[in-house]
């Protein structure tokens, strides 16, 4: 059975507050301190250090935290495997980043359900950072992410390549021009995805390679919802750099237009990602099926 003291340390390492940890675990602050003291005496090391009111993990504390995190993820995975073995309907959890979750994966899931009627794939959508954190914590069996991630930490397979394109309202003056300079585009109001988004990270990294740091372009709004971004651009409140997958309908309707920008070409990957060495029959089947449907 997992130690309650280790669980206390795990929560404290996340919240960095004795008060919040005590509240979450419904115990007293002295009890939290006693749990940490017990572990430090048992291992013969300091696990946390205090600087004023702030709490930091020592190197030993960081090691223990990562160890506990792996144990909890493994326990969740074992629980799910055992449940699926005894259930007629097998349930799996798939995480997808926002562009993929809204515009690519729903059709794949629908077709997959038609072929594998005894499987339920529960979809969770979030930004790249959140989805990968949940994958590491064992809350997801498989993830499908857009853009950059630490490939050395995971096993992964490419689903397809995608392009990020500059998008303006059909009412914008740029819509009547054949080609626009990048500097002129960056003088306009940029409506960009939230921090932690793969789209945003790739966009900012690309612009940096072109000599444009954040202080050289105008971030007008930061929005987490892709539909909201498209609506704001339609109303000519700014422009965005967004996945070509996400604007197919609007391009057909001619409410949005892709502007050709000199020297601008942003490509990224849509990758399936899973924990190293944990490739299951579900992961193998789902990836194979998804690639075959595109």
Separation in Å, CA 123 to CA 43, 96, 131, 235, 243: 40, 7, 11, 31, 20
CATH 3.40.50.300 for domain 4-69, yes or no, is no
CATH number for the domain running over 161-268: 3.40.190.290
* Nearest residue to 274 via CA among 155, 151, 158, 159: 155
Whose CA is closest to 243, among 215, 269, 211? Answer: 269
Nearest to residue 67, comparing CAs of 140, 134, 9?
Answer: 9
Domains 4-69 and 71-160+269-293 belong to one CATH topology: no
**Mind listing the pLDDT tens digit of every residue in the chain (294 residues)?**
468 899 999 999 999 999 999 999 999 999 999 999 999 999 999 999 988 888 999 999 999 998 888 888 778 777 777 777 767 788 899 999 999 999 999 999 999 999 998 899 999 999 999 999 999 888 899 999 998 899 999 999 999 999 999 999 999 999 999 899 999 999 999 999 998 888 999 999 999 999 998 888 989 999 999 999 999 999 999 999 999 999 999 999 999 999 999 989 999 999 999 998 888 889 999 999 999 998
Q: Measure the CA–CA gap between 101 and 103, rounded to whole angstroms.
A: 6
Dihedral sign, Cα of residue 248, residue 250, residue 254, residue 260 = negative
**pLDDT score recorded for residue 280:** 85
* pLDDT score, position 263: 87
Q: For residues 54 and 104, what is the distance between their CA atoms, to the nearest angstrom?
A: 43
Taking a C-beta distance cutoff of 8 angstroms, is the pair 97, 127 a contact?
yes
Structure tokens at 125: 């959508």
CA dihedral sign, ordered 98, 100, 103, 109 = negative
Q: Does domain 71-160+269-293 have CATH number 3.40.190.10?
A: yes
Is the dihedral angle over the CA atoms 233, 241, 217, 132 positive or is it negative?
A: positive
pLDDT value at position 2? 65
Give dist(CA 223, CA 242) in Å, integer: 12
Task: Match 């072109």 to its residue by tokens.
Answer: 210
pLDDT at site 218: 87
Domain ranges of the chain: 4-69, 71-160+269-293, 161-268
Q: Report how many helices (DSSP H) and strands (DSSP E) the chain contains, helices first.
A: 12, 11
Beta strands 48-51 and 54-57, pairing class? antiparallel
Structural tokens at position 238 = 């700014």
Q: Distance between terminal CA atoms of the chain?
A: 45
Closest-CA residue to 6 (of 80, 76, 66): 66
Question: What Å distances lie between residue 52 and 47, 55, 56, 65, 251, CA to CA?
Answer: 17, 8, 11, 22, 55
Where b means 16+ CB within 10 Å and e means fewer, 118-127 reads: ebebeeebbb
Structure tokens at 196: 């932690």
Q: Which residues of 242-271 are buried (b: 16+ CB within 10 A; e: fewer)?
A: bbebbbeebeeeebbbbbebeebebebbbb
């Amino acid at each position: 059975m997992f130690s309650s003291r280790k669980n206390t340390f795990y929560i404290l390492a996340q919240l960095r507050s004795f008060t919040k940890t005590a509240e979450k675990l419904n115990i007293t602050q002295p009890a939290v301190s006693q749990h940490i003291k017990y572990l430090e005496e048992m291992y013969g090391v300091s696990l946390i250090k205090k600087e004023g009111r702030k709490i930091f993990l020592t190197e030993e504390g960081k090691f223990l935290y990562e160890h506990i995190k792996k144990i909890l993820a493994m326990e969740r995975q074992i629980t799910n495997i055992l449940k699926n073995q005894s259930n007629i309907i097998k349930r799996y959890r798939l995480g997808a980043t926002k562009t993929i979750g809204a515009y690519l994966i729903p059709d794949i899931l629908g077709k997959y359900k038609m072929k594998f009627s005894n499987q339920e794939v529960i979809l969770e959508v979030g930004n790249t950072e959140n989805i990968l954190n949940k994958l590491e914590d064992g809350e997801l069996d498989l993830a499908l992410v857009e853009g950059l991630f630490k490939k050395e930490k995971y096993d992964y397979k490419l689903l397809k390549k995608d392009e990020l394109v500059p998008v303006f309202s059909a009412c914008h003056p740029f819509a009547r021009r054949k080609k626009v300079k990048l500097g002129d585009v960056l003088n306009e109001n940029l409506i960009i995805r939230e921090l932690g988004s793969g789209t945003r990270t790739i966009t900012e990294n690309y612009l940096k390679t072109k000599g444009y740091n954040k202080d050289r372009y105008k971030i007008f709004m930061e929005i987490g919802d892709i539909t909201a971004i498209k609506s704001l651009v339609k109303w000519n409140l700014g422009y965005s750099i967004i996945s070509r997958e996400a604007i197919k309908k609007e391009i057909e309707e001619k409410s949005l237009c892709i502007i050709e920008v000199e020297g601008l070409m942003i490509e990224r990957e849509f990758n399936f990602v899973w924990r190293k060495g944990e490739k299951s029959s579900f992961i193998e089947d789902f990836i194979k099926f998804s690639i075959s449907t595109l």
